[in-house]
Chains A and B, each alone.
Chain A
Amino acid sequence: MKTSYDIIIIGGGPAGLAAAISAYDNGVKDILILERESSLGGILNQCIHNGFGLARFKESLTGPEYAERFIDGVMDRKIEYLTETTVLSVSEDKKVTAMNVDSGVFTISAKAIVLSMGCRERSRGALNVAGTRPAGVYSAGTAQKYVNILGYMPGKSVVILGSGDIGLIMARRMTLEGAKVHAVCEIMPHSSGLKRNIVQCLDDFDIPLYLNHTIINIEGKNRVSGVTIAEVDENKKPIKGTEKHFDCDTVLFSVGLIPENELSKTAGVSLSPRTKGAVVDQTRETSVDGIFACGNVLQVHDLVDFVSEEAEIAGKYAASYVLNGKQAKKVVETNCGANVSYVLPQKLNVNSNENVKLFFRVNKVIKNCTVKVCCGDEVIATKKKKISVPGEMETALLLADKIKNLSGDITVSVEGEI
């Protein structure tokens, strides 16, 4: 087999596929995608619900349909890929060590690397939920794989902790397949999922959403037999006397996603404590020259449409790095101002002639708000929004001529009615 490529892409999900197509269309044809599952497409393969592609294609596709458009794009360009291949490490000098059944352990090198490994779900262990350790406790995504890929139901009587989108989607899916979903508990005073999922997955089926509630006990010897939930106070401590009990055989956790950056660490890539993903500039280049990151491994997105958009940026600049080599950069930082939990990219190269879209999230629900991007006292971009919520990523466009003239770090803030 070949031992070197211009670009190696780690992960063949939506980010990796879009990055590969973009790199190819920007002039680099010698590309290899490495994917650990048996088919390309990543998590989209098990997301059989619709609503994907509304922003990008102006139509509502299912996950497999959205993936197929990009898989077809990779096939049309005859871009090389290996499935059932697990990457073990990535080094700072861009050597990738991987293994599969055909080749055993092997090392290949690249001129540029795109990290697109996606994210994984937070588990019960991460939350330390009290109770016994019976069968029937799953992450929502695991249950989704059972139902949609393997074709079996993991339970019949369900309580869901966390109102993340996958949990909401699974509440509907399990209900349609004949299970009874008793409740969705959310410890925060607002849902972390998209509004349309609350309406179409819970309200449509009269599934109650308990805000400010958490599970305080999971019961059962061999199999889950029930859970107790309780309301929480402002410090997220359960309030005595508010307990409710549900008999059930299954508990699903939909309590957040964590970018899967183990390989980024082996490459020495600096990570942001805010996003848990790499620190990047607007080209999505990490702290290591020629290593780029995009998609959910960089920041957890709500919409795959944005993943594709971000991956196209990473792919384009990975190609540029291969063709033009390292470029001199002059960098300023992007900081979080009032009510903003993170801003991406974290760095801006001011030696640039292109507009930059900043992605950020607010940390609380804010109505009639104004988004401001400032450099010192100067406002370099602003926009008004009727509402901004933590569950939906926000954007702000910086114009190229503003970026060129930046004298220092910039700050993104959102102020309005809280």
Chain B
Amino acid sequence: MIRELTCVECPMGCKITVKTVDGVNEFSGYSCPRGKMYAENEIVDPKRVVTSTVKLSDGRVLPVKTDRPVSKKDMFSVMEEINSITATAPVKTGDVIKENVFGANIISARTVK
């Protein structure tokens, strides 16, 4: 299997090609060690921090994020969890809104009185 990635480590945006033969990955197209490391992480289990909002019971909107990156494939499931939450003010930045959602906690990204 051959996959193409665009490296985001710097503005060069190298196109990195990953060739997988019998479960072994071969990388080409990167121009620095950071590029290779990026491609390795991306090919094994790409992870992203999910940021979104939850309802507050008073009708306002609270920005939230996962406190660590979650697997890219779980992003939409994490969104479903986030959209089912109603939080209550007051909330401080960093407060846990919901624990252990696909291995991460959903935390508040704003202080709301």
Within 8 Å by CB of A50, from B11, B65, B75, lies B65
Tell yes or no: B55 within 8 A of A by CB: yes
Chain B interface residue count, CB cutoff 8 Å, equals 26
Question: Which residue of chain A lies nearest to B79 when distances are taken between CB atoms in the complex?
Answer: A176
A386 touches B12 (CB 8 A): yes
Question: Which residue of chain A lies nearest to B31 when distances are taken between CB atoms in the complex?
Answer: A386
A204 touches B110 (CB 8 A): no
Q: How many A-B residue pairs have CB under 8 A?
A: 69
- Residues on the B chain within 8 Å of A194, using CB: 11
B61 touches A64 (CB 8 A): no
- Residues on the A chain within 8 Å of B93, using CB: 64-65, 68
- Tell me which of A148-156, A326-334, A352-360 binds B: A148-156
Tell yes or no: A196 within 8 A of B by CB: yes
Question: Could you tell me the distance in whole angstroms from the C-beta of A153 to the nearest C-beta in chain B?
Answer: 11
Question: Could you tell me the distance in whole angstroms from the C-beta of B66 to the nearest C-beta in chain A?
Answer: 10
B65 touches A151 (CB 8 A): no
Tell yes or no: B109 within 8 A of A by CB: yes
Within 8 Å by CB of B8, from A48, A149, A195, A388, lies A195
Tell yes or no: B111 within 8 A of A by CB: yes
Task: Give residues of chain A (35-77) contacting chain B, Cβ–Cβ below 8 Å.
Answer: 48-50, 60, 62-65, 68
Task: Give residues of chain A (145-195) contacting chain B, Cβ–Cβ below 8 Å.
Answer: 147-151, 176-177, 194-195
Tell yes or no: B53 within 8 A of A by CB: yes
A64 touches B110 (CB 8 A): yes
| Bound CA span A62–B51, Å | 8
B61 touches A60 (CB 8 A): no
Question: Which residue of chain B lies nearest to A388 when distances are taken between CB atoms in the complex?
Answer: B11
Tell yes or no: A200 within 8 A of B by CB: yes
Within 8 Å by CB of A148, from B6, B10, B53, B111, lies B53
- Residues on the A chain within 8 Å of B18, using CB: none
Task: Give residues of chain B (67-94) contacting chain A, Cβ–Cβ below 8 Å.
Answer: 72, 75-76, 79, 93
- Residues on the A chain within 8 Å of B72, using CB: 204
| Bound CA span A291–B55, Å | 42
Most-contacted residue by chain A among B50, B51, B60, B65 (CB, 10 A): B51
B49 touches A50 (CB 8 A): yes
- Residues on the B chain within 8 Å of A64, using CB: 63, 93, 109-110
- Knowing A65-B109, A204-B72, say if A176 contacts B52 (CB, 8 Å): yes
A392 touches B8 (CB 8 A): no
- Knowing A62-B51, A62-B65, say if A68 contacts B8 (CB, 8 Å): no
- Knowing A62-B63, A65-B110, say if A48 contacts B51 (CB, 8 Å): yes
Tell yes or no: A25 within 8 A of B by CB: no
Question: Could you tell me the distance in whole angstroms from the C-beta of A209 to the nearest C-beta in chain B?
Answer: 11
Tell yes or no: A198 within 8 A of B by CB: yes
Tell yes or no: B48 within 8 A of A by CB: yes
| Bound CA span A60–B69, Å | 11
Question: Could you tell me the distance in whole angstroms from the C-beta of B83 to the nearest C-beta in chain A?
Answer: 8
Tell yes or no: B13 within 8 A of A by CB: yes
- Residues on the A chain within 8 Å of B53, using CB: 48, 147-148, 151
- Residues on the B chain within 8 Å of A391, using CB: 11
Which 6 pairs between the two chains have the least Cβ-Cβ distance? Answer: A48-B63, A196-B8, A64-B110, A151-B61, A62-B109, A195-B13
Given contacts A48-B51, A50-B49, A148-B63, 20 further A-B contacts (CB under 8 A): A48-B63, A48-B109, A49-B51, A62-B51, A62-B65, A62-B109, A64-B63, A65-B110, A150-B61, A151-B61, A176-B76, A176-B79, A177-B52, A195-B6, A195-B8, A195-B10, A199-B8, A204-B72, A387-B11, A388-B11
Residues of chain A whose beta carbon lies under 8 Å from any beta carbon of chain B: 48-50, 60, 62-65, 68, 147-151, 176-177, 194-196, 198-200, 203-204, 386-389, 391-392
17 contacts between A and B (CB under 8 A): A48-B52, A49-B51, A50-B51, A62-B65, A64-B93, A148-B61, A148-B63, A150-B61, A151-B61, A176-B50, A176-B52, A194-B11, A195-B11, A198-B13, A199-B6, A386-B10, A386-B12
